[in-house]
Copies of this chain bind each other. A is one copy, B any other.
Amino acid sequence: MKKAIEEIRQFNLERDWDQFHTPENLAKSISIEAGELLECFQWDANYDPEHVKEEMADVYSYLLMMADELNVDLEEITLAKIEKNKIKYPVERARGNSAKYDKLD
């Protein structure tokens, strides 16, 4: 994770692009790139692995930039979210069930 964000910082610095990377614009960018990733699966479950990888990289890059901008550790916030999800989705009620937590029996 270290090397990617360092390369991204250098890339943006050289192009003077940090001015565009407000949290709001990065949130838009993550959504836009997520749409392009979804487009790889628009009509069926078959997909071009190389294309998928590129779109995953785009989502990840903007997510890294947002984490960098907000001074957030992605690993740490994800572990914290998993702990919350353990409470929202207790094993005994969620097992084999894709329902949303407020629709679990």
Interface residues of A (CB under 8 A from B): 1, 3-4, 7-8, 11, 14-17, 19-20, 22-25, 27-45, 47, 49, 52-54, 56-61, 63-64, 66-67, 70, 72, 74-75, 77-82, 84-86, 89, 91, 94-98
A31 to B7 CA separation, bound complex (whole angstroms): 25
Contact A47–B72 (Cβ < 8 Å): no
Asked if B63 and A98 sit within 8 Å, CB to CB, the answer is no
Number of copies: 4
Q: Are B89 and A4 in contact (CB under 8 A)?
A: no
A66 lies within 8 A of B56 (CB)? yes
Report the Cα distance A27→B85, complex, angstroms. Answer: 20
Q: Which residue of B lies closest to A23 (CB)?
A: B47
Are A8 and B47 touching (Cβ within 8 A)?
Answer: no
CA of A54 to CA of B70 in the docked complex: distance in angstroms? 13
Q: Which of B20, B24, B34, B75 is A1 in contact with, Cβ under 8 Å?
A: B75
Contacts of A41 in B (CB 8 A): 23-24, 27-28
